[in-house]
Amino acid sequence: MSKVAVLGAGSWGTALSIVLADNGHDVRLWTHSKDQAEKINSTHKNDKYLEIMIPEKIKAYSDLEAALNGVTDVVLVVPTKAIREVCHNLNRIVKNPVRIIHASKGIEPGTLKRVSQLIDEEMDNYNYEDIVVLSGPSHAEEVAKRQPTTVTVASINEEYAKLAQELFFNESFRVYTSNDVIGIELGGALKNIIALGAGISDGLGYGDNAKAALITRGLAEITRLGTYLGANPLSFLGLPGVGDLIVTCTSVHSRNWRAGNLLGKGKNLDEVLDQMGMVVEGVRTAEAAYQFAAEEDVEMPITTGIYQILYNNQKPKDVVEQLMNRDKREEMDDLATLLRNRYTR
């Protein structure tokens, strides 16, 4: 059994700690809040984030050095905007070799970097090839209740991907492996933009047809950008692609869907974020993807529309009208070319 530090005690860090504790590992759940650590240790609940009781053997820490003492694996689960800060501190403290698995879903605006690239930049002596990403259709609320869930762990280091699979795998948490770090990270990050769109569509009162269109054309957009950035397009048909799109675009558990729903009902971004109280990763990732699409001339009309709603106060109804009235085109034209180019290279 392994000693594991889970860094980030929000919904997902807590749910993943439960999976690891169920598997018999020694789990330290680190939070940047002393009060929260004390509350978790005394009540075995983390009720701002999850309703369920936490196994007593999970120990919460607010001292990062103490949490990391003697661990073999570090699971990073803070919001993307906190990854650099946490890795900077990790870099200062970690002396023994550890394996790093991250489960955060975002892209940094400005630099347009994925989470594994941020980790790589902040950690002096850690190989990019050894970073593992865990992603897939997995609402924390359901994982914490041990409901059947499937995810993928990806690393260029095949042995580390298999070790991560072993660490998390159990009868209600099925884990696949992959070597497509770019595809798995982009699938998880970009689906949040489309989930905002699905929430907006529901908030406007549109039906299943509109949502199915968003999911499908959203997948085309994700595949287009992802393949441009070096991902294996097949990854987008897998759990961290279409799987995660379905789970976030169709569920009230999704914070991105919920935030979109409020936007569709007429609230502005500041009001929505105040009300959410949890991370809505799609907001920053929409900014990053919009910047990228504009700079590299990659066609991302849904992302562009959502960016305009979030950052330029465009009315959701006007954006839908613009999307519906774009030039007529063939459904698969550019995607077919993209795939053909990739496989005939």
Ligand X SMILES: O=C(CO)COP(=O)(O)O
Binding site for ligand NDP (CB under 6 A): 8-13, 31-33, 49, 77-80, 82, 85-86, 103-106, 138-140, 278-279, 281
Task: Let me know if 39 is a catalytic residue.
Answer: no
Among 256, 285, 303, 308, binds ligand X (CB under 6 A): 256
| Min CB(220)–ligand X separation in Å | 20
Give the phi and the psi of residue 170 in degrees, each rounded to 5.
-155, -175
Q: Does 211 bind ligand X (CB under 6 A)?
A: no
Question: Measured between alpha carbons, how far is 196 from 249 in angstroms, rounded to an integer?
Answer: 8
Q: Choose the binding region for ligand X from 29-37, 165-173, 242-250, 316-324 (rule: CB under 6 A).
A: 242-250
Question: Measured between alpha carbons, how far is 208 from 205 in angstroms, rounded to an integer?
Answer: 10
In three-state secondary structure terms, 150 is strand
Sign of the Cα torsion 141, 145, 146, 147 reads negative
CB closer to ligand X, 126 vs 236: 236
Q: Are 40 and 57 in contact (CB under 8 A)?
A: no
Q: Is 191 labelled a binding residue?
A: yes
> Quick one: tokens of 41?
């240790």
Catalytic residue among 3, 45, 59, 191: 191
CB closer to ligand NDP, 206 vs 257: 257
Which residue is associated with the tokens 């073999």? Answer: 72
Facing residues of 135 across strands?
152
What's the first-to-final CA gap in the chain, in angstroms?
A: 44
Q: Does 105 bind ligand X (CB under 6 A)?
A: yes
Q: Does 225 bind ligand X (CB under 6 A)?
A: no
Is 18 exposed, middle or buried (CB count within 10 Å of its CB: 0-12, 13-18, 19+)? buried
| Min CB(32)–ligand NDP separation in Å | 4
Catalytic residues: 191
Binding residues for NADPH: 11-12, 32, 49, 105, 140, 255, 279, 281
Residues that bind ligand X (CB under 6 A): 105, 137-139, 192, 195, 244, 247-248, 254-256, 281
